[in-house]
Structure 1
Amino acid sequence: MTQESMQNTLEHQVVWITGASSGIGEALATVFANLGAKVVLSARRKDELERVRSQLNQPERHVCIAFDVTQADQAQQALEEVIAKCQRIDFLINNAGLSQRALIADTLMDTERRIMDIDYFAQIHLTKLALPYFVQQGAGHVVFISSVAGLLGTQYRASYSAAKGAIHMWANSLRAEYAEKGLSVSVVFPGFVKTNVSFNALNGAGQAQAHQDDAIENGLEADDFAQKVVKALLGNQEYIVVGGLKEKLGVAISRISPKLMYKMIRKSKVK
């Protein structure tokens, strides 16, 4: 399915994206807008959301709702605002997240909890808030942006891998419980994608790393990633791995021989 053949396939549909102020979220917003969807952009920074909106196809059609996904009251208010302005939600893209670059021994428990709060608890809370609306509609598609790290687990990413693995398992249960109510559930597992994720990744003390990783710098362009993800979503794929050959090979080997995969991980330089 080419971009041209997909054109306007999402007309009259509402796509709500968290973490939409940059990186993967911004790239996904661009693709969905080009396909005719009405995009709701959410993140904490209203000015950055407005910047993204101004660059979308037909910017006047789209909505910016700034809030902190970790704050329950703000999440409830954001959902109510989406419904008031758009009347429905067709896609909920849980993309807001935070990465990590620290060894287990160096990671404070406060940092562990912060990563889990953003990458797991905030995602499931917002989804649970939206579930009654999906059931009332009789249709909808919930998407979680996990990570290849959530399938494998590597050095310097223990908390991040745990949170991304947890959201994958929760999504599997959600899919099983709501399949007969018209809800589709997909999990996306990005490999290395060229975004600012490593700049914002937390060290053990909970501070931003503030520099780019070589692997991220040489990763897949965010626009290419977004095109592949949306194509897979429109094809009703539930388990979506998007990355380079190294990441895809790692996932494949982990299924065939976990022992071999973890032997390879121990010898790799992944920071």
Structure 2
Amino acid sequence: MSNYFNNKVVWITGASSGIGEFLAYALSAQGAKLILSSRREKELQRVKQACSIPEQVVVFPLDLSDIPSLQGKTDQAIGYFGRIDIMVHNGGVTQRSLVIETELNAHRQVMELDYFSYVALTKDLLPHFKERKTGHFVVTSSVMGKIGTPMRAAYAAAKHALHGFFDCLRAEVAPDNIKVTVLTPGYIRTNISLYAITKNPYGLGKHSEDISNGLAPEIAARQILKAIRKGSFEPYIGRFGGERIALWLMRLAPGIFFRIAPKLTPK
């Protein structure tokens, strides 16, 4: 079990902090070869040097918000180690503002980064997986990809879209031995919960949301590696608590959830 990731080539977006950073550490400790992407090259270099086997780590800066710039990037990524075994879609941004005050361009910005960048890279990488008759897409969604609460409409819409797209993809590629795992994290102790797009695409603001009780990212990384090994379809990542209960309510008693949802506004 512990050797599952040894020598596997894993491409991680959003790898300069948070879940992506700690996934890099956990995977490197198990012998994986890593391609780390985000906009912040300096931070990627820091993560690389902190990995257990930095000589098996490639820093590959990408701007996921610039969709045209992603054209052909998968060929470059494949060229580093000759193949890719696992693609971890993890880059993204969150959002906090009411629907009535959120500009359309803010919705577009969230969708470009949190949804369309995933689709673009997936479509480019898919022929490689199909040719090899193997591969695994791992997608960081959110509990907000399954429920809806105030002040998160743009973010929830993008995450809901990921579930629809990757559920369809899973059904299409199953005959080719290609796996799809859509992660649904609850609160994880990362900076993404502290900084968010607000009512306009330039309104990046700091919020007082308390994430101190969120799951430590290194523990989240271990949960994610376990889910990847098992080939899980849609695992919850996080502590047992309100987020997990909300998922159950939404599935089993949606009427109850809809009555309590208006009270779930972030502070």
Q: Identify the TM-score tier after normalising by the shorter chain.
A: over 0.9
For the residue of structure 2 that corresponds to 1:209, the secondary structure is strand
Residue matched to 2:179: 184
Deviation at 1:200, TM superposition (A): 2.7
- Conserved? CA contact 1:42–1:65, under 8 Å: yes
Deviation at 1:270, TM superposition (A): 2.9
1:107-143, Cα deviation, whole Å (9 max, x unpaired)? 0111010001111111111100000000111100001
- Please say if 1:95 is aligned against 2:90: yes
How far apart, in 2, do the equivalents of 1:195 and 1:184 lie?
A: 27
- Conserved? CA contact 1:69–1:126, under 8 Å: no
1:153-183, Cα deviation, whole Å (9 max, x unpaired)? 1101001001001101110000001110111
Deviation at 1:77, TM superposition (A): 4.1
Pick the aligned partner of 2:12 from 9, 13, 17: 17
- Conserved? CA contact 2:184–2:236, under 8 Å: yes
How far apart, in 2, do the equivalents of 1:198 and 1:189 lie?
A: 15
For the residue of structure 2 that corresponds to 1:143, the secondary structure is strand
Deviation at 1:72, TM superposition (A): 3.5
- Please say if 1:120 is aligned against 2:103: no
Pick the aligned partner of 1:246 from 231, 242, 264: 242
Of 202-211 and 41-50, the range deviating more from structure 2: 202-211
How far apart, in 1, do the equivalents of 2:192 and 2:212 lie?
A: 10
How far apart, in 2, do the equivalents of 1:268 and 1:53 lie?
A: 38
Residue matched to 2:69: 74
The TM-score normalised by the length of structure 1 is 0.94
- Conserved? CA contact 2:4–2:229, under 8 Å: no
Residue matched to 1:270: 266
Residue matched to 1:210: 206
How far apart, in 2, do the equivalents of 1:223 and 1:212 lie?
A: 23
Q: Residue type of the partner of 2:167?
A: N
Structure 2 segments unaligned to the other structure (5+ residues): none
How far apart, in 2, do the equivalents of 1:111 and 1:159 lie?
A: 8
How far apart, in 1, do the equivalents of 2:67 and 2:151 lie?
A: 29
For the residue of structure 2 that corresponds to 1:16, the secondary structure is strand
Residue matched to 2:24: 29
1:61-101, Cα deviation, whole Å (9 max, x unpaired)? 11010011233443234312211111111110000111001
How far apart, in 2, do the equivalents of 1:29 and 1:116 lie?
A: 25
For this pair of structures, how many residues does the alignment match?
265
Distance 1:110 1:188, change over 3 A: same
- Conserved? CA contact 1:149–1:160, under 8 Å: yes
- The RMSD of aligned alpha carbons is 1.3
Residue matched to 2:168: 173
